[in-house]
Amino acid sequence: MPEVKISLFSQILKLVDRSEFGSLVREHKTDKFNKGCNTWTHFVSMLFMQFSGVNSLRDISNGLRSATGNLNHLGIKNSPSKSTISYQNKNRSYKIFEQLYFKLLDRYEPSLERKRKYARRIKRQVFIMDSSIIPLCLSLFDWAKFRTTKGALKLHAVLDYDTGLPSYVCMTDGKQHDVNVARDTIFPKDSVVVVDRAYVDYEWLFNLDSSKVIFVTRLKSNADIEIVESFLTNDKHDHILSDQDIRLTGFYSSKNYPKNLRVVKVFDAENDQYLFLLTNQMFWTADTISQLYKARWDVEVFFKHLKQLFRIKSFVGTSANAVRIQMWCAMICMLLIRYLKLKASYKWHLSNLITFIRMNIFVKINLWNWLDEPLLKKEKPPPTKTLF
């Protein structure tokens, strides 16, 4: 494998367009009063934390300082001290990192497109919306209200099923209800939105229907309904137990959603439970509805990878701004890792790829060759000669 003069980390940073980054800096004026640590140095430091897996400001500073002679390749002059990183996390607006994520998503989204295993037949854009709680210590993070003695940050994400990455992200305190964030989210006409029953608000669902957006969710167990018509199910799909058109009969629910809805009863063999899927799509097959809801597992996998592989459980700052900077840098890191994974010919698992990068972060080797062939091939021993 041919050697190069810059490290893997330096080559990964080249995926971020410096001119585009500079435009964001000028737009947000984040280099004004930078205290010797400009926005790019701050960004490199926080991204280093995610790629290397370190847990403290001291480790970030010392880790970059250990790369003596390689800092110029990273685009920075000196390793920032831990107090400098702490100051910038508190005072530099997280908005620039948020906007950078979506800029990078626009740039690499075409390359991240994948075949939709279940939804390809419907030829529509599918969005999966969900949220995840990240526990925080209330005495340290007093702005993150959740319960009387507990604090939490809630990450709301709208996952694009094509890319497996969020096309919309919102971070709130733990008390914020999922529906409140959903109401402020606009989905394209003729798209499909898949959500859990925590999002069942009939007024919001009716607004989606009025906007020509298809939704698939779960019917709440206490819903008052009247069966309008039942349909025969396909014998080929034994997990489909019933398919019915229904009408809401509750006083408020019937006013908030006056039209008919459809309920598909499904048996989930993996979890040994019955699911009542609610949708406004009256014509697709019952199996298509069930497979669309099954696709919701993608957002669960996304949250699982984000929590397990990246540094978002322990934070290096306690202010709301510092936590959001760390979260957005973790999202940027995941986007870049996903891009590298899908461009490589080697069949990487996401966890293996991030682990291998951490072990080789300052190794000077060609990134793309290494991605395609990370392990040295064993040479075959020479054939043994037989003596007569």
What is the spatial distance between Cα 133 and Cα 243, in angstroms, rounded to a whole number? Answer: 34
Q: Are residues 268 and 348 in the same domain?
A: no
Report pLDDT digits (tens) over 16-30.
999 999 999 999 999
Asked if residue 16 and residue 85 are part of one domain, the reply reads yes
Residue pair 158/181 in contact by the 8 Å Cβ criterion: no
Q: Which tens digits make up the pLDDT trace of 265-311?
A: 999 888 888 999 999 999 999 999 999 998 888 888 899 999 888 98
Residue 86's pLDDT is 94
Number of domains in the chain: 2
Provide the 3-class DSSP secondary structure of residue 227. strand
Residues sharing a CB contact under 8 Å with residue 157, sequence separation 6 or more, in sequence order: 129, 130, 131, 132, 166, 168, 169, 170, 299, 302, 303
Residue 147 within a domain: no
**Domain co-membership, 93 together with 13:** yes
Q: Report if residue 314 sits inside a domain.
A: no
Structure tokens at 143: 């702005």
Say whether both 19 and 92 belong to one domain: yes
Cα–Cα nearest to 239, from 212, 211, 267, 260: 267
Tell me the pTM.
0.85
Report the alpha-carbon angle 266-270-275, nearest 5.
25
Report, as an integer, the average pLDDT of 339-348. Answer: 92
Longest dimension (CA), the chain: 99
Name the residue with tokens 């019952």: 286
Query: Is 167 among the domain residues?
Result: no
pLDDT digits (tens, 9 = 90+) for 41-92: 999 999 999 999 998 999 999 999 887 667 888 999 889 999 999 999 999 9
Handedness of CA 154, 172, 127, 28 (dihedral sign): negative
Domain assignment present for 351 = yes
Q: Which H or E element spans position 208?
A: helix 202-210
Sign of CA dihedral 281, 286, 291, 297: positive
Instruction: State how far the Cα of 134 lies from the Cα of 94, in Å rounded to an integer.
Output: 18
What lies within 8 Å, CB to CB, of 232 at 6+ separation is 243
Strands of the sheet with 240-248, listed across from one edge: 165-173, 151-160, 126-136, 192-194, 214-218, 273-279, 261-268, 240-248, 225-231
What is the Cα–Cα distance from 180 to 203, expressed in whole angstroms?
12
Q: Is residue 127 included in any domain, yes or no?
A: no
Residue 185 resides in a domain: no
Q: Which domain holds residue 281?
A: 210-285
Cβ count within 10 A of residue 70: 17
Asked if the model's pLDDT at residue 387 lies above 60, the reply is no
In angstroms, the CA 253 to CA 224 distance is 8
> Of 285, 315, 338, which residue constitutes the final position of a domain?
285
For 140-191, the pLDDT digits (tens) are: 888 888 887 788 899 999 998 888 889 899 999 888 899 999 999 999 999 9
Q: For residues 132-140, give the mean pLDDT.
A: 87
Domain assignment present for 132:
no
Q: Which of 278, 239, 387, 316 is nearest to 53 (CA)?
A: 316
123 domain residue, yes or no: no
Q: Are residues 13 and 86 in the same domain?
A: yes
For residue 267, list its beta bridge partners: 274
- Examine the domain organization and report whether 330 and 281 are in the same domain: no
Burial of 104 (0-12, 13-18, 19+ CB in 10 A): buried
Residues in Cβ contact with 323 at an 8 Å cutoff, skipping those fewer than 6 apart: 136, 141, 144, 153, 171, 315, 317
